[in-house]
């Protein structure tokens, strides 16, 4: 009899605990930390740190920016491993590298941004937030002295056989269509030679004359330091690369209790950049040696965002 009473008492306690607000809830399921895996470039690092400052200023969340990794690994962590909540990406990268589609597959009347978003949501359950305003597309560049020597203004100017091409290892990979092989095939270029270098050595190598042509990002402050002339993509090989946060589609559902305004906060950066603004910001980090944290905070304060 005593055992029966004890069992009934335990059942009543369990039922009451589940009925009371906040009781019986899996506390581990209430997320209070946003995870951002960092990128290898100062532009991504700046935007990630700005996201950290904004989120911690305007929500009750903390933000953990983790180790740097390549774009492909960032995407893998976000989609396959679920280790990370978002990272700064680009619609052109999403389309060509992650979805392995070509710009000519974008339906007529639809933007690359909208098409990439549509396909990413269907295939990987991720989507882009608002455009940040910059278009960090690939570009080909040469030292100004080389441009003057050969009269170079466009990529298709016929001097490739006299020049050596060099770029970081990732540009030679087979991940996506905006890479070295498809590029030279599209333009019919035959360089004197091509070299693959570590990303951190690329600008030093071109300044030292190890090669005369390289692939750059349009908003890289090191272009300014190295006095490179960006050549016109006269045949339109490279698509737009509009910067935007790439997030899991269920991200805001996960944080609806702890940060119901999270999407609004992240979109506070929407439209805040131009290529010129971002070039100056990356120049401050990569050339002037200022910290990512300092430059990011200064910019946000200048925009009255924090």
Residue 107 neighbours by CB distance under 10 Å: 9
pLDDT tier for residue 79 given thresholds of 50, 70 and 90: very high
CATH architecture, domain 29-135+240-302: 3-Layer(aba) Sandwich (3.40)
Q: Which two tokens stand for residue 281?
A: 């910001």
**Helix (H, G, I), strand (E, B), or coil: what is residue 259?**
coil
C-alpha dist (Å) from residue 72 to 93, 98, 99: 10, 7, 11
- Domain parsing of the chain, residue ranges: 29-135+240-302, 138-231
Average pLDDT of span 290-298: 98
**Which pLDDT tens digit goes with each residue over 104-121?**
899 999 999 999 999 999
CATH 3.40.366.10 fits 138-231, yes or no: no
pLDDT tier for residue 23 given thresholds of 50, 70 and 90: very low
Average pLDDT of span 121-133: 97
pLDDT tier for residue 50 given thresholds of 50, 70 and 90: very high
Q: Which two tokens stand for residue 145?
A: 């002295």
**pLDDT in the model for residue 217:** 87
- Are 29-135+240-302 and 138-231 the same fold in CATH? yes
Q: At what angle do helices 275-286 and 292-302 cross, to 10 degrees?
A: 150
């Amino acid at each position: 009899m005593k055992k029966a009473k004890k069992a009934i008492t335990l059942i009543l306690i369990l039922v009451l605990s589940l009925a009371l607000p906040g009781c019986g809830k899996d506390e581990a399921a209430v997320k209070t930390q946003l995870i951002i895996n960092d990128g290898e470039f100062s532009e991504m690092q700046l935007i990630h740190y700005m996201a950290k400052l904004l989120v911690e200023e305007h929500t009750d969340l903390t933000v953990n920016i983790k180790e740097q990794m390549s774009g492909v690994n960032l995407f893998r962590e976000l989609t396959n491993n679920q280790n990370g909540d978002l990272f700064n990406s680009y619609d052109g990268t999403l389309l060509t590298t992650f979805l392995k589609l070509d710009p000519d597959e974008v339906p007529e009347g639809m933007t690359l941004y909208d098409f990439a978003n549509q396909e990413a949501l269907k295939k990987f359950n991720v989507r882009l937030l608002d455009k940040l305003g910059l278009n960090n597309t690939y570009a080909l560049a040469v030292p100004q002295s080389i441009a003057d020597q050969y009269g170079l203004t466009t990529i298709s100017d016929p001097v490739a056989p006299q020049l050596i091409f060099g770029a970081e290892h990732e540009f030679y990979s087979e991940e996506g269509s905006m890479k070295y092989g498809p590029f030279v095939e599209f333009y019919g270029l035959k360089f004197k030679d091509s070299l693959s270098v570590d990303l951190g050595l690329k600008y030093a190598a071109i300044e030292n004359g190890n090669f005369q042509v390289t692939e750059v990002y349009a908003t890289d402050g090191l272009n300014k330091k190295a006095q490179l002339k960006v050549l016109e993509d006269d045949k339109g090989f490279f698509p737009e690369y509009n910067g935007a946060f790439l997030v899991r589609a269920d991200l805001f559902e996960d944080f609806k209790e702890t940060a119901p305004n999270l999407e609004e906060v992240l979109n506070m950066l929407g439209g805040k950049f131009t290529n010129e603004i971002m070039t100056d910001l990356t120049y401050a980090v990569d050339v002037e040696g200022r910290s990512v944290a300092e430059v990011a905070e200064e910019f946000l304060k200048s925009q009255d965002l924090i």
